[in-house]
A and B are shown apart, each in its own frame.
Chain A
Amino acid sequence: AQSVTQLGSHVSVSEGALVLLRCNYSSSVPPYLFWYVQYPNQGLQLLLKYTSAATLVKGINGFEAEFKKSETSFHLTKPSAHMSDAAEYFCAVIRFLNAGNMLTFGGGTRLMVKP
């Protein structure tokens, strides 16, 4: 079965500092992995996705993530945090079932950016 675990439900950084949000996955098959962002009272927006091509994936808003099979990780990074990055971030993996595919989400990490 496929699953993801996000380490740290809350992360706080200063504006301009490095952002690192951690995600580890468990999968018996090569995983398809995703990072989403959610602003308050809104739906989720895709930041980036890994589908077994390049291991370093670049997304929107300056975010990127690196797939590391040896560490079963897919951590999200951004070199310099901006106030507008404050939001909740979700890591997800495709779950393959007989009746179709779906995404399984981690518990989310709330990013706070201090001025």
Chain B
Amino acid sequence: DGGITQSPKYLFRKEGQNVTLSCEQNLNHDAMYWYRQDPGQGLRLIYYSQIVNDFQKGDIAEGYSVSREKKESFPLTVTSAQKNPTAFYLCASSGRLEELFFGEGSRLTVL
């Protein structure tokens, strides 16, 4: 089945550690996105990529990094510089001017 796979679903991290969240899609979409979700704040855009080897900062990119070496993959690294990383992270992809298709999310908890 076509879709978006995020892993891991749950992740625990100690303060000061970097972690990488995986996002893979087999929908042949050019565009991919990372959103952060906090209770009562909706979804906020972290990074997005319209084509391979290119990506743009979203509204809350500080403390995060991404890469887009392959069309199918768009991993997100939460660095130690992110001051409040505990959140639910959602990856999505889309075709041109189409709706976004979302993965099941990854919940990161900093201990």
Contacts of B40 in A (CB 8 A): 9, 107-108
Cross-chain contact A99 with B42 (CB below 8 angstroms)? no
Give complex CA distance A100, B55 in Å.
10
Looking at B14-22, B67-75, B77-85, B94-102, the stretch in contact with chain A turns out to be B94-102
How many residue pairs link A and B with beta carbons under 8 A? The number is 58
Q: Which chain A residues lie closer than 8 Å to B4 at the CB level?
A: 43
A56 CB–B CB distance under 8 Å = no
Does chain B have a CB within 8 A of A82?
Answer: no
**CB of B86 within 8 Å of the partner chain:** no
Contacts A44-B90, A105-B42 given; does A94 touch B97 at CB 8 Å: yes
User: What does DSSP make chain B's interface, helix, strand, loop or mixed?
Assistant: strand
Q: How far is the CB of A62 from chain B (nearest CB, A)?
A: 19
Cα A12 to Cα B99 in complex, Å, equals 28
Q: Is the CB of B31 within 8 A of A45?
A: no
Distance between Cα atoms of A99 and B55 in the complex (Å) = 9
Q: Is the Cβ of A32 less than 8 Å from the Cβ of B97?
A: yes
Measured CB to CB, the residues of B under 8 A from A are 4, 6, 31, 33, 35, 40-43, 45, 48, 50, 56, 58, 88, 90, 92, 96-97, 99-105, 107
Q: Can you report 16 A-B residue pairs in the complex whose CB atoms are below 8 A from each other?
A: A9-B40, A36-B102, A43-B4, A43-B6, A43-B103, A43-B104, A44-B102, A49-B99, A90-B42, A94-B97, A97-B56, A100-B50, A101-B31, A101-B96, A103-B33, A107-B40
